[in-house]
Amino acid sequence: MHLACLLVTWGGFNVPDLKHPPYVRLLSEIESYIHWDPQAETIRNEVSNAIINHINYLKQPFHSDNEWIRKDVIKSSKYLAERNDLIVTKADKAKLTVVMNKAEYESKMLTLVNDTETYEEIRNDPTSSTLKKINAMFDQWSQEEWIDKCTKLKLKVYNCNPPRVYGLPKTHKEGMPLRLINCTIDHHIVNSFEFVGDIRQHIVTNECALFSLDVVSLFTNVPVDYAIESVRLRWGELEEHTKIPESSFIAMLELVLTSTFFMHQGRFFKQKFGLPMGSPLSPVVANIVLERVERCALEQLH
């Protein structure tokens, strides 16, 4: 995370008093994290600049022309603070802020997590045991000199909380259902503008038909075994970018992809099928799987 963004995160979400952020605590935690980093001095300079800019921003007066905006923001914030029956979130795909009834939101969330075909409730929190297994692998990688000491210290975590699941309203669908941990990563192209640029390089005849395919609930529909096999098939490309041998790499991949647990309202659930939602690894692995499916489909069409 960029350090300036880190300051914004602290100032905007985790600090009760926005006018007096705990700079000393922030600096202490950053220092403990970057102590072994070769770029520590550069990071310290970035932190200093970010804090100074943040302080200067807080001191800026509102322009008189924007006074009405400030008043509306204060009024809206006060209204929402007094309404415990409302929840504010963002839309699934549209760039919208959604205010909805909290009871309706929780009802839809419970319907999703209680889907026994996809999830199952578990008794205990597996966070600690999973963390120990992952850290043990990092220790082994460091001992074998597949990663250096600095990388190991960056990767290891000693205190963490179980993932919390949340829902994003699908405002474009009737009834506004929720989507759990949405990921909006396009495959091969970034957006429609890039697609238009690419398609101009090809001759499209009247005999051609343009169509698109949408995968429904992509992550939860990708079998973990198939995903791991897909990565193995691409190992020749991957091994050029890592010193970690295939067996250990696949072992870590399997551990991450099977750590599909999360917490909701004090209850722990485990995803029974598919890639874990919210994991930064899932989009990458899902793309590898889709490329494999694509290639098989194209070979059959030729």
pLDDT band at residue 14 under the 50/70/90 scheme: very low
pLDDT tens digits for 167-178? 889 888 888 998
- Report in angstroms the alpha-carbon separations of 123 from 126, 263, 264, 266, 270: 9, 11, 13, 11, 10
pTM, to two decimals: 0.64
Residue 117 amino acid letter: E
Note the pLDDT of residue 43.
85
For the chain, counts of helices (H) and of strands (E): 12, 7
Note the pLDDT of residue 141.
96
Res 183 pLDDT > 80: no
Note the pLDDT of residue 4.
39
Q: In this structure, are residues 147 and 243 in contact, taking their beta carbons and an 8 Å threshold?
A: yes
For residue 264, how many other CB atoms are within 10 A of its CB? 22
pLDDT tens digits for 23-52? 787 787 788 777 777 788 888 888 888 888
Question: 119 by DSSP, 3-state: which?
Answer: strand
Highest mean pLDDT among 62-71, 132-141, 154-163, 217-226: 132-141
Residue spans of the domains in the chain: they are 3-60, 111-126+162-301
* Cβ density class 194-214: b for 16+ within 10 Å, e for less: eeeeeeeeeeeeeeeeeeeee
For the chain, state the CA radius of gyration.
Answer: 24
Res 119 pLDDT > 80: yes
Note the pLDDT of residue 2.
41
Residue 170 amino acid letter: K
